[in-house]
Structure 1
Amino acid sequence: MTDLDVVIPCFNMQALVARAIESAHIAGANRIIVVDDGSADDSAMIAEKHGATVIRQANSGAAAARRTGAKGSTATYLIFLDADDQLLAPGVKESLLLLESNVGSPAVGGAVVGVMPNGKTTRLKSHYSNSISTADLLSKGFGPWPPAAAVVRRLDYLKAENQFPNKLTTDYAEDFEMFIRLSMIGKILKHDVPAAKYRMFDGKSSKDYLKPIMAKERIVEYYGQALKLPHTVMSGVDIRLASHTRAIRTMIARAEYGKLILLIVKSLAFDPKINFLGVKKGVQKFIKRDEK
């Protein structure tokens, strides 16, 4: 049996945490650590009932909950699974095999199956090659997967947390920063076997459309400068366009058409060009997704 722990940060996820735990059991976890991040519901009780070890802490955010879980583990390998996502055993197995045969890699991840608000699933397109460097991450400006898709060496994760430069303090894009720091230890590897199901257009990044993009750009600039690596920071116009496109895509996915109309009308008054481009890009991305 592979020495694998699954760490689940959990905040008010009583409706979904049992499903996440069950997927971790099926994926072969030796131990499942649920870090209850100050939940006000019955998440912790449900997690214990389903066989997880529960660590309770005051609400500190997902990144801090992952650190708490990693420090509470003694396993060789970790997966950081959000409480509303699920692991897929074939992809987890492939990641473990690649990690065992590539000792210099701190993490290996597989393909991701996106779950839309209406329940429809779609395999998400990857924009990365099978070997991912720090320069690649800074050039793309976004992470290769949600954290659940990757198996991480625990000691490399802890080392990455404490190496130069110091970590940023940000409420968004923490996963992106985690993969950047891991890539500074060695190249991250990717394969094409589905490793996780990921709920799309949900969570805090789908409720605030601007802050996640601003955090991502801050991370790119910070690590690009600290590591003296090529990087490009988005212009103010590009950031507004990306935020507008994100908002439109989210509202279409959730069928929030009333909100969408209000957003378009309001935007027409203040920035018609950004509004037009945002609508165009948002609709185009949905058409391409449905054609897959």
Structure 2
Amino acid sequence: MILSVVIPAYRAEKTIRQAIQSAFSAGAGEVIVVDDGSDDSTAELSRAAGARCFVQINSGAAEARKNGAGQAAGDFLIFLDADDELVPDGVRRSVEVLQANNDLVVAAGRVIGVGGDGLERPFPIRFDPVTTQTLLVHGHGPWPPAAAVVRRSAYFEARDLDPEPLAPRFAEDYELLIRLSMTGGVDVRDDFTCRYSLAGGKSVASADSAIEAKESIRDYYAKALEIPIDLMSIRRRQMAAIARVARAHWAQGHRLRALRSMSQWLMKDPAYAISKLATSPWRRN
């Protein structure tokens, strides 16, 4: 089997079928849904759509991804969120790239952001090349999990590397990509590989915790690998959390809520806020 798609899902009955269908359309030999203790029809709908479904006690998306990967049989993995969709042609190309070059452990493409208004907006490539150093210096991952195809053998190798993984509840995909980059090369291309819901999620609902987790990951790996970086100040972390919430509200079409968050941003740190607002409201921290 070539490709396994793992979908962590919680109360995802409205979107899970589309996610599964997109995975099969992209060439998945199996789709594994890990239901994170939902109290709706997520598990039943997943099985009806052709996925293998495992139910766990509510433990978070990181644990669901880990458990799903442990069940996967494919040579390559994609971690797809239940409200996102894969772009078949881009995914197939990612698989071909990995098959052609054994030194690569990740192949990824661009992302189509889908707002609450249903409009699709392409994301730019956030940085290239993607290496351990650039990941730590930039301080964020360049894409959501579904944009990348991961070599399964590298996934397990990355888990066993030194230093020990932090396994945070937030920003776990960022830590995984850092660890994967320590095992081999990361390919970045211009073609689209996924449609990404901008409607928010746990990292928006708990924006402060997400930012703190990200900075803890940066600090930990920078020290362990002796890579010099500049950590965010406490004030900038607060600003980044407000910015993340503002952009989520904007993407959901809640313009008034977004403007309220932006006003907090402007009052607390005008120079930083203006520099960020000069970019795109779709860009994430």
Tell me the TM-score normalized by structure 2: 0.92
Deviation per residue, 1:168-226 (Å, 9 max, x gap): 14221111011001001012111111000001141112222322111111110001011
- The answer on whether the counterparts of 1:246 and 1:282 sit within 8 Å (CA) in structure 2 is no
Q: Which amino acid aligns with 2:41?
A: D
Deviation at 1:263, TM superposition (A): 4.6
Match of 1:175 in 2: 173
Deviation at 1:279, TM superposition (A): 5.3
Match of 1:162 in 2: 160
- The answer on whether the counterparts of 1:241 and 1:277 sit within 8 Å (CA) in structure 2 is no
- The answer on whether the counterparts of 2:250 and 2:281 sit within 8 Å (CA) in structure 1 is no
Structure 2: which 5+ runs fail to align?
none
Match of 2:127 in 1: 128
Q: How is 1:205-244 mapped onto 2 (pairs within 5 angstroms)?
A: 205-244=203-242
Stretch deviating more after TM superposition (242-251 or 46-55): 242-251
Structure 1 residues 24 and 78: alpha-carbon distance in aligned structure 2, compared to 1, 3 A threshold: same
- The answer on whether the counterparts of 1:35 and 1:69 sit within 8 Å (CA) in structure 2 is yes
Q: Which amino acid aligns with 1:235?
A: S
Deviation at 1:253, TM superposition (A): 2.9
Aligned to 2:81, what secondary structure does the other structure show? coil
Match of 2:19 in 1: 20
CA distance in structure 2 between the partners assigned to 1:263 and 1:98 by the alignment: 42
Structure 1 residues 33 and 286: alpha-carbon distance in aligned structure 2, compared to 1, 3 A threshold: same
Aligned length: 283
Q: Which amino acid aligns with 2:29?
A: N
Q: How is 1:30-41 mapped onto 2 (pairs within 5 angstroms)?
A: 30-41=29-40
Deviation at 1:261, TM superposition (A): 5.8
Match of 2:267 in 1: 272
Q: How is 1:243-262 mapped onto 2 (pairs within 5 angstroms)?
A: 243-260=241-258
Q: Which amino acid aligns with 1:112?
A: V
CA distance in structure 1 between the partners assigned to 2:72 and 2:245 by the alignment: 38
CA distance in structure 2 between the partners assigned to 1:205 and 1:155 by the alignment: 28
Deviation at 1:281, TM superposition (A): 4.8
Deviation per residue, 1:262-284 (Å, 9 max, x gap): 5567x49xx9342x446535643
Structure 1 residues 128 and 262: alpha-carbon distance in aligned structure 2, compared to 1, 3 A threshold: closer
CA distance in structure 1 between the partners assigned to 2:249 and 2:30 by the alignment: 38
- The answer on whether the counterparts of 2:113 and 2:121 sit within 8 Å (CA) in structure 1 is yes
Aligned to 2:104, what secondary structure does the other structure show? coil
Structure 1 residues 225 and 206: alpha-carbon distance in aligned structure 2, compared to 1, 3 A threshold: same
CA distance in structure 2 between the partners assigned to 1:187 and 1:113 by the alignment: 24
Q: Which amino acid aligns with 2:87?
A: L
Q: Which amino acid aligns with 1:72?
A: Q
Match of 2:10 in 1: 11
Percent sequence identity over aligned pairs: 37
CA distance in structure 1 between the partners assigned to 2:282 and 2:35 by the alignment: 38
Match of 2:278 in 1: 284
- The answer on whether the counterparts of 2:243 and 2:262 sit within 8 Å (CA) in structure 1 is no
CA RMSD of aligned residues (A): 2.1
Q: Which amino acid aligns with 1:214?
A: E
Q: Which amino acid aligns with 1:284?
A: A
* 1:190 is the counterpart of 2:188: yes
Aligned to 1:152, what secondary structure does the other structure show? strand
Tell me the TM-score normalized by structure 1: 0.90
Aligned to 1:132, what secondary structure does the other structure show? coil
Structure 1: which 5+ runs fail to align?
none
Deviation at 1:243, TM superposition (A): 2.0
Stretch deviating more after TM superposition (250-259 or 66-75): 250-259
CA distance in structure 2 between the partners assigned to 1:111 and 1:260 by the alignment: 26
Aligned to 1:285, what secondary structure does the other structure show? coil
- The answer on whether the counterparts of 2:170 and 2:203 sit within 8 Å (CA) in structure 1 is yes
CA distance in structure 1 between the partners assigned to 2:141 and 2:282 by the alignment: 21
Deviation at 1:250, TM superposition (A): 2.5
Deviation per residue, 1:134-157 (Å, 9 max, x gap): 111101111121111111111110
Q: Which amino acid aligns with 1:89?
A: P
